Structure 1
Amino acid sequence: MAGAFSASSLFDQLHAAEIASANSMVGHLSPARVATDEDYWSLIRQAYTVSPNLINLNNGGVSPAPRVVQEAVERYNKLTNEGPSYFMWEILDQGREPLREKLAELGGCSKEEIVINRNATESLNTVILGLDLKAGDEVIGCKLDYPNHMNAWKQRALRDGIVYKQLSFNFPVEDDDQIVAAFENAITSKTKIIHVTHVINWVGQILPVRKISDMAHRHGLEVVCDGAHSFALLDFKIPDLGCDYFATSLHKFLSAPIGSGMLWIRQDKISKIWPLLANGDPRGTNIRKFETLGTRSFPIEQGIGEAINFQMAIGNKRKEERVRYLKNYWAEQVINIPKVKIRTSLKAAYSCAICGVSIDGISPAKLERALFNQYKIHTVPIEYENVSCVRVTPHVYTSLQELDKLVRAIREIATAGK
């Protein structure tokens, strides 16, 4: 059977030659210049099967998979059902180690630090609930972290008596020192952990994880990083963030099958984390102790490989520059429309894909409904803590014509005042 990393992978059959040819045409250009090459990105768009009946600008929630990933999952699912116990355990299960190696290559780390699971929530719960913390130990997070992860810390506070402290920010903030100082000022002699979100899901603010990690380590603390909205979008290697634990959902910007995720644990930290699901060697140093899930969706797991092939063919930096270009393309056109407010920095250091927009006098819920009912533009309304906006998130398959329609819609809604 041909797997995702064989010479006859589905990606090689469907896309490799076309994308390689396109890459050769733009190989002399910088990633920022390729970001504006509509011929190149129209080819990428054709690899997706997105509905022509709506404009999907909620890729921050979950991204569609390109056709090659969908076909891989379907192929592996059909194979599985020809003889489940044989094809799952004897065939597909053997593909986990090659997949682990490719995820490690994409993340710039050792394969012995990579856990393959279902999403960032599962990954972060593994760390949060697996750390040895006792009553009185303090954890510093943010009120704009992802709710599932905040709830995990709150459960530890209820169960174990830890102290969970949350910072508040009025994003956008275009000052790394201000953000780092806020975390540092909250540290006491009882602080053990800093939980930091790489990209805030509500408004797309990028936090200076490396600077926070360096500061935390100077104080003898560990850093847990939520990278659900940064991995396979921003061009970085996980170890360069300086954190101790990193989690992501692969069904966001990697466009892997829905229900796929990854956890990275620095190798010297593996033994100290208890597995979320019991393992025969819970204090062992083998990263695979975190994968004792039992029967799982092998087709979804193996479909990740084709998403990696697709990602690597484009290139991390080209992807980052293209998606940031798309975000700025629409945001810069609406920022001066009366009553319209952009709730996200447009500077490259502080945002990439996600951008919040609001219109004075119109609630996020009403704006989201107007965009969909009148223009068939799918976004998501955000009313949480001190954030009130509609979140707009394009992806590599988003066209400029679709964003032009978004700009027109925002202008018309703001002018009509309803």
Structure 2
Amino acid sequence: MAGAFSANSLYNELHAESISAANRTVDHLSALDVAKDEDYWSVIQQAYTTSPNLINLNNGGVSPAPRVVQEALERYNKLANEGPSYFMWEILDQGREPLREKLAELAGCDKEEVVFNRNATESLNTIIFGLELKAGDEVIGCKLDYPNHMNAWKQRALRDGIHYNQLSFNFPIENDDEIVAAYEKAITPKTKVIHVTHVINWVGQIMPVRKIADMAHRHGLEVVCDGAHSFALLDFKIPDLHCDYFATSLHKFLSAPIGSGMMWIKKEKITKIWPLLGNGDPRSSNIRKFETLGTRSFPIEQGIGEAVNFQLGIGNKRKEERVRYLKNYWAERVTAHQKVKLWTSLKPEYSCAICGVSIEGLSPKEIERALFLRYKIHTVAIEYENVKCVRVTPHVYTRLPELDKFARAITEIATAGK
């Protein structure tokens, strides 16, 4: 069987030649310059099969997979169904270790620190419920972290008597020191863990994870990082964040099959984390103790490999700069209208793909509905805590005429006032 990392991979069959040729035309350019090269990105756009009847600007929720990932998923699913217990356990299961190695390479970490699962929620629940905390221990988080993860900490508080302290921020904030100081001020002698979201999913604020982690470690604390909206978008290596635990959903910016995720635990921390699902040796230092899941979708796992190939074909830095360029492209066009407000910084160190926008006199739901019904543009309305906006998230397949239409739509809706 031709695996994702063989010479006969689907990526090599479908995209390698065209993407390599496109890369050769821009290899002399910086990533910032490539971000504006529409000829280059037209090659990438052609690899996707998105509907021409809908402009999808909610890629922060889940991203479509390029054709190569879809075909891999179909190929492996057909193979599995030819004889499930044989082809799943004897054939597809053997592809997990090469995939672990390649994904670790993309993440810049040791393959013995990487686990596959379904999403960031599953990963973070494993970490949150696996940490040894007792009644009275304190955890610091933020009210704008992702709800599933906040609920996991709240359940630990209810069940185990820990104290969960949530900070509040008014984003955008263009000052790392202000954010770090807020976390440091909340530390008490009973604090054990800081939970930080790398990219705030509501408004796209990039948090200074490394600075928070370094500060936390000076106080003897551990750091859990939610990287659902940063991995395969921002150009970084997980160990460079200096966190102790990291989780992401691969079906967001990696464009892997829907229902795929990754957990990273620093090697020396593996032993201390209890698996969420029972394992014969729960105190093992082997990262695979977290993969005792029984029967799961082997085709989805192997489809991740082709998504990794596609990502490496483009390059992390080029991808980051392109998606940031797309976000700024539309955002800069709507700010001239006096009724339009952005909830996200446009400075590169504080945001990339996600940007929140609101219109005076209209609720987020009214804006979302108008965008869809009048212009067939899909976004998501955010009304949570102190955030009231429409979240807009382009991806590499998004075309400039689509963003022109979106910017025009926002201006027209703001002018009409309804």
TM-score by length of 2: 1.00
Deviation of the 1:158 alpha carbon = 0.3
Structure 1 Cα separation of the partners of residues 355 and 291 of structure 2:
35
Deviation of the 1:130 alpha carbon = 0.4
Structure 1 Cα separation of the partners of residues 257 and 317 of structure 2:
22
Residue 123 (str. 1) matches residue 123 (str. 2): yes
Deviation of the 1:294 alpha carbon = 0.3
Structure 2, unaligned runs of 5 or more: none
Instruction: Give the equivalent residue in structure 2 for 1:176.
Output: 176
Instruction: Give the equivalent residue in structure 1 for 2:50.
Output: 50
Structure 1 Cα separation of the partners of residues 3 and 115 of structure 2:
20
Deviation of the 1:25 alpha carbon = 0.4
Aligned residue for 2:194, secondary structure, equals strand
Deviations 1:215-273 (A, max 9, x none): 00000000000000000000000000000000000000000000000000000000000
Residue 263 of structure 1 aligns with an amino acid whose one-letter code is M
Structure 1 Cα separation of the partners of residues 332 and 136 of structure 2:
47
Structure 1 Cα separation of the partners of residues 233 and 362 of structure 2:
31
Residue 77 (str. 1) matches residue 96 (str. 2): no
Deviation of the 1:66 alpha carbon = 0.2
Kindly report which structure 2 residues correspond to 1:299-338, keeping only aligned pairs within 5 A, or say none: 299-338=299-338
Instruction: Give the equivalent residue in structure 2 for 1:162.
Output: 162
Aligned residue for 1:105, secondary structure, equals helix
Instruction: Give the equivalent residue in structure 2 for 1:211.
Output: 211
Structure 1, unaligned runs of 5 or more: none
Q: Which 4+ stretches in 1 moved above 4 angstroms? A: none
Residue 90 of structure 1 aligns with an amino acid whose one-letter code is E
Aligned residue for 2:82, secondary structure, equals coil
Structure 2 Cα separation of the partners of residues 377 and 102 of structure 1:
36
Residue 377 of structure 2 aligns with an amino acid whose one-letter code is I
Kindly report which structure 2 residues correspond to 1:18-417, keeping only aligned pairs within 5 A, or say none: 18-417=18-417
Deviation of the 1:338 alpha carbon = 1.8
Residue 86 of structure 2 aligns with an amino acid whose one-letter code is Y
Deviations 1:6-26 (A, max 9, x none): 000000000001100000000
Deviates more, 1:336-345 or 1:311-320: 336-345
Structure 2 Cα separation of the partners of residues 248 and 335 of structure 1:
32
Deviation of the 1:32 alpha carbon = 0.4
Structure 1 Cα separation of the partners of residues 245 and 288 of structure 2:
15
Aligned residue for 1:204, secondary structure, equals coil
Deviation of the 1:395 alpha carbon = 0.1
Residue 297 of structure 1 aligns with an amino acid whose one-letter code is S
Deviations 1:162-191 (A, max 9, x none): 000000000000000000000000000000
Structure 2 Cα separation of the partners of residues 234 and 145 of structure 1:
19
Structure 1 Cα separation of the partners of residues 42 and 378 of structure 2:
21
Deviation of the 1:106 alpha carbon = 0.3
Residue 195 of structure 1 aligns with an amino acid whose one-letter code is H
Aligned residue for 1:358, secondary structure, equals strand
Structure 1 Cα separation of the partners of residues 335 and 162 of structure 2:
43
Structure 2 Cα separation of the partners of residues 22 and 393 of structure 1:
25
Deviation of the 1:72 alpha carbon = 0.1
Deviations 1:63-106 (A, max 9, x none): 00000000000000000000000000000000000000011000
Aligned residue for 1:156, secondary structure, equals helix
Structure 1 Cα separation of the partners of residues 288 and 12 of structure 2:
30
Structure 2 Cα separation of the partners of residues 115 and 188 of structure 1:
32
Residue 209 of structure 1 aligns with an amino acid whose one-letter code is V
Aligned residue for 1:157, secondary structure, equals helix
Deviations 1:122-170 (A, max 9, x none): 0000000000000000000000000000000000000000000000000
Aligned residue for 1:81, secondary structure, equals helix
Deviation of the 1:192 alpha carbon = 0.1
**Identical pairs, percent:** 83
Deviations 1:360-397 (A, max 9, x none): 00000000000000000000000000000000000000
Residue 119 of structure 1 aligns with an amino acid whose one-letter code is N
- In the comparison of the two structures, how many residue pairs are matched? 418
Residue 160 of structure 1 aligns with an amino acid whose one-letter code is D
Deviation of the 1:115 alpha carbon = 0.5
Structure 1 Cα separation of the partners of residues 246 and 103 of structure 2:
13
CA RMSD of aligned residues (A): 0.3
Aligned residue for 1:194, secondary structure, equals strand
Structure 2 Cα separation of the partners of residues 401 and 336 of structure 1:
19
Aligned residue for 1:60, secondary structure, equals coil
